[in-house]
């Protein structure tokens, strides 16, 4: 294939030659970064294969079960694979865990009892957890069950406020929740090493305090996971990183056996625990998605690093910046004007394999205090390991985007967003 062939196919997808040339120069500057991402993906791929081999995965594990799901070998072995890969004693990996929020709720409510206190030493947790905990009044919250909550914010420079964490820990403190990814906040994402330091500090105060990590968007970004640095539980969503784009639904909890068991008794029923739950024919997608996850995460990371460098070079503020080390797959770009945020999201949508002809518009979503625009043309509804972007229409007019099942598709999405910004006259000089 020659250069013209590639230019032609990009042209047929609406990408102009100047945008393509600019992208090529940015990409050429990222060779070392991409090589580092590939090296981690190689390590993580081997970690997953080793876990599958050690647990003797076989095609009998792909068979469907129905009804109660007793003796679902495929389900039980998949949970062993997750446990082996994450160096945990046990795991709960289920389509019946409906989302990341649900998995986190099960991990928390399974391990906390009335009179216990929950502590977040890393500031305000992800939006949906506010109602789970009862920070915002909500029917069925942990607060309604007599579980109190305390929070210590990060210091202005993003580091842990050890002094106030020590003060916040008391005889009621049962569980500490640590969110790895910044989510849609502006604080930095935590590295696994930093999480390890925080866990060591907590255990130094009282070793029996349980440390849970919200691992959403973090899996396979590094070569170690929080379970390698002392976390008692890690929790995540299968329509993010570990589902590899193939899992159609689900969540996981991996960690200490007693913690995972308590979560299982909460998910099903006391006395039943992990013994029930039909896998309904989803096992193969969950295995295969986990197998692909390290490569898929690498593609998404390349997209995030590429976008940071493209928009940084054009003078916009990007978070994380173009050269920073990555600890999750989320990229934020601040445009300062609503038209730019809208054009960006419409460009992402126009690059999608599904629903590319749809034009996203801002709308008043329930639970948000300003209109929100969302771009997603995904095979799995709501999947954010697939290329997706969303932005609240309010100052400073930042867009958050993540995912991309392949690097080439993530690249097309970013080129398309830039093309839309050029066509709208917001980005000039092309
Ligand atoms: C996505 C996410 C959640 C919640 O996951 P859902 O699947 O959307 O319910 C929780 N915490 C973090 C950090 C997340 O990124």
pLDDT in tens, 307-337: 999 999 999 999 999 999 999 999 999 999 9
Ligand 1 atom with least separation from CA of 180: 13
Instruction: Please state, as a whole number, how many other Cβ atoms lie within 10 Å of the Cβ of residue 77.
Output: 19
What is the DSSP code string of 5-27? HHHHHHHHTT--HHHHHHHHHHH
For ligand 1, the distance from its centroid to the CA atom of residue 152, given in whole angstroms, is: 20
Region for 280 from its dihedrals, namely left if φ exceeds 0, alpha if ψ lies in -120 to 50, beta otherwise:
left
In this structure, which residue's CA is closest to atom 5 in ligand 1? Answer: 100
CATH code for the domain in which residue 104 is found? 3.40.640.10
Q: 330 alpha carbon to ligand 1 midpoint, in Å?
A: 12
CA distance 342 to 375: 9
Dihedral sign, Cα of residue 352, residue 358, residue 359, residue 361: negative
Cα of 126 vs centre of ligand 1, distance in Å, is 7
Supply the residue whose CA is at minimum distance from atom 3 of ligand 1.
100
| Centre of ligand 1 from the C-alpha of residue 342, in Å | 23
Instruction: Give yes or no for a contact between 262 and 89, defined as CB atoms under 8 angstroms apart.
Output: no
Of 95, 96, 101, 105, the residue with max ligand 1 atoms within 8 A of its CB, to mutate for a pocket test, comes to: 101
Residues facing 255 on adjacent strands: 90, 233
Q: 100 C-alpha to center of ligand 1: Å?
A: 5
pLDDT of residue 185: 78
Is 162 domain-assigned?
A: yes
The ligand 1 site (C-beta within 6 Å) comprises 99-101, 126, 128, 179, 181, 183, 214, 216-217, 237
Q: Which among 233, 252, 279 is the end of a domain? A: 279
Within this chain, do residues 345 and 270 fall inside the same structural domain, yes or no? no
Q: Within 13 A of 266's CA, how many CA atoms are on the CB side?
A: 21
Q: Work out the percent of the chain whose per-residue pLDDT is above 90.
A: 95
Query: pLDDT, tens digit, for every residue of 216-267?
Result: 999 999 999 999 999 999 999 999 999 999 999 999 999 999 999 999 999 9
* CATH, residue 387: 3.90.1150.60
Cα dist. 323→32, 33, 42, 124 in Å?
11, 9, 22, 27
E strands, 22-76, are: none
User: 338 alpha carbon to ligand 1 midpoint, in Å?
Assistant: 25
Regarding whether 85 and 226 lie in a shared domain, the answer is yes
Whether residue 63 lies inside any domain: the answer is: no
Q: What's residue 368's pLDDT?
A: 73
Residue 53 lies in a domain: no
Bridge partner residues of 402 (DSSP) = 388
Q: What is the pLDDT of residues 273-289, one digit of tens each?
A: 999 999 999 999 999 99
How far, in Å, is the centroid of ligand 1 from the Cα of 20? 34
pLDDT in tens, 368-389: 778 999 999 999 999 999 999 9
Mutate which of 216, 238, 300 for ligand 1 pocket (most atoms within 8 A of beta carbon)? 216
pLDDT tier for residue 367 given thresholds of 50, 70 and 90: low
Residue nearest to atom 8 of ligand 1 (CA): 100
The mean predicted confidence, pLDDT, of the chain is 96
Q: Based on the domain organization, do 165 and 114 belong to the same domain?
A: yes
Same domain, 161 and 96: yes
- Give the structural domain span for 316: 3-44+291-423
| Residue ending a domain, choose from 257, 279, 301 | 279
Distance 235 CA to ligand 1 centre (A): 10
Q: Is 269 exposed, middle or buried (0-12, 13-18, 19+ CB in 10 A)?
A: exposed
What is the spatial distance between Cα 418 and Cα 326, in angstroms, rounded to a whole number? 23
Residue 284 within a domain: no
Q: Measure CA 223 to chain center.
A: 16
Centre of ligand 1 to C-alpha 107, Å, is 14
98 and 177 together in one domain: yes
pLDDT value at position 61?
Answer: 98
- Asked if residue 290 lies in contact with residue 137, where contact means CB atoms within 8 angstroms, the answer is no
Residue 286 three-state SS: helix
219 and 298 housed in the same domain: no
Ligand 1, atom 2: nearest CA belongs to which residue?
216
**What confidence category does residue 43 fall into, taking pLDDT thresholds of 50, 70 and 90?**
very high
Number of folded domains that form the chain:
2
* Same domain? 148 vs 261: yes
Report residue 230 as tokens. 């002392």
Of ligand 1's atoms, which has the minimum distance to the CA of residue 184?
A: 15
Indicate the top mutation candidate among 96, 98, 106, 126 to test ligand 1's pocket, ranked by most ligand atoms within 8 A of CB: 126
Q: Indicate which residue's Cα is closest to atom 14 of ligand 1.
A: 216
Which of 254, 243, 236, 237 lies closest to 287, judged by CA?
Answer: 243
pLDDT at res. 184: 75
**How many angstroms does the Cα of residue 58 sit away from the middle of ligand 1?**
31
Which of 229, 256, 279 marks a domain boundary? 279
The DSSP bridge pattern shows strands 398-402 and 388-392 to be antiparallel
Q: For a substitution probing ligand 1, which of 100, 127, 183, 402 has the most ligand atoms within 8 Å of its CB?
A: 100
Under the banding of pLDDT at 50, 70 and 90, the label for residue 82 is very high
Q: Report yes or no on 258 lying in a domain.
A: yes
- How far is Cα 341 from Cα 95, in angstroms, rounded to an integer? 34
Q: Taking a C-beta distance cutoff of 8 angstroms, is the pair 118, 142 a contact?
A: yes
Same domain, 196 and 265: yes
Is residue 158 one of the residues assigned to a domain?
A: yes
Q: Which residue has the higher pLDDT, 1 or 394?
A: 394
* Same-domain check for residues 352 and 306: yes
Cβ contacts of residue 323 below 8 Å, gap of 6+?
none
In a domain, 52, yes or no: no
Q: Which atom of ligand 1 is nearest to 126's Cα?
A: 11
Whether residue 109 contacts residue 145, with contact meaning beta carbons closer than 8 Å, is answered with yes
Q: Which atom of ligand 1 is nearest to the CA of 179?
A: 13
Average confidence (pLDDT) over 54-73: 97
Query: Which residue matches tokens 């985007």?
Result: 401
Q: 274 with 297, same domain? A: no
Residues 157 and 241 in one domain: yes
**pLDDT the model gives residue 1:** 63
Cβ burial 226-263 (10 Å sphere, 16+ → b, else e)? bbbbbbbbbbbbbbbbbbbbbbbbbbbbbbbeebbbbb
* 48 band by pLDDT with thresholds 50, 70 and 90: very high
Q: Kindly state whether residues 30 and 107 are assigned to the same domain.
A: no
Could you tell me if residue 285 is inside a domain? Answer: no
């Amino acid at each position: 294939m020659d250069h013209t062939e590639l230019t032609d196919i990009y042209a047929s997808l609406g990408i102009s030659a100047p945008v393509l040339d600019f992208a090529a120069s940015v990409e050429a500057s990222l060779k070392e970064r991409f090589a580092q991402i590939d090296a981690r993906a190689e390590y993580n791929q081997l970690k997953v294969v080793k876990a599958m081999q050690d647990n003797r995965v076989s095609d009998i594990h792909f068979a469907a079960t129905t009804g109660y799901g007793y003796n679902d070998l495929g389900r039980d072995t998949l949970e062993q694979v997750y446990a082996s890969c994450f160096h945990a004693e046990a795991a709960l990996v289920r389509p019946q865990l409906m989302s990341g929020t649900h998995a986190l709720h099960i991990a928390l409510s399974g391990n906390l009892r009335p009179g216990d206190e929950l502590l977040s030493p890393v500031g305000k947790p992800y939006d949906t957890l506010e109602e789970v905990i009862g920070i915002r009044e909500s029917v069925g919250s942990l607060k309604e069950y007599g579980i109190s909550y305390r929070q210590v914010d990060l210091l202005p420079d993003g580091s842990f406020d050890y002094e106030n964490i020590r003060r916040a820990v008391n005889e009621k403190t049962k569980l500490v929740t640590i969110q790895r990814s910044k989510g849609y906040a502006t604080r930095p994402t935590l590295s696994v090493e930093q999480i390890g330091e925080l866990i060591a500090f907590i255990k130094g105060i009282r070793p029996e305090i349980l440390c849970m990590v919200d691992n959403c968007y973090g899996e396979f970004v590094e070569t170690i996971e929080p379970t390698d640095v002392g976390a008692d539980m890690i929790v995540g969503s299968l329509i993010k990183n570990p589902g590899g784009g193939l899992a159609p639904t689900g969540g996981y909890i991996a960690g200490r056996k007693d913690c995972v068991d308590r979560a299982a008794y909460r998910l099903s029923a006391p006395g039943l625990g992990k013994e029930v739950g039909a896998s309904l024919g989803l096992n193969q997608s969950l295995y295969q998605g986990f197998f692909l996850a390290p490569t898929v995460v690498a593609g998404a990371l390349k997209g995030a690093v590429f976008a940071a460098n493209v928009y940084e070079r054009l003078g916009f503020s990007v978070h994380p910046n173009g050269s920073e080390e990555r600890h999750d797959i989320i990229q934020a770009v601040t445009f300062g004007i609503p038209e730019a945020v809208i054009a960006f999201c419409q460009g992402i949508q126009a690059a999608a394999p599904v629903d590319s002809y749809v034009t996203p518009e801002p709308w008043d979503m329930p639970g948000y205090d300003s209109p929100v625009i969302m771009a997603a043309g995904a095979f799995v509804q709501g999947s954010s390991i697939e290329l997706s972007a969303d932005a609240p229409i309010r100052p400073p007019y930042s867009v958050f985007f993540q995912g991309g099942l392949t690097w080439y598709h993530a690249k097309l999405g970013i080129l398309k967003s830039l093309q839309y910004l050029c066509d709208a006259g917001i980005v000039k000089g092309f």
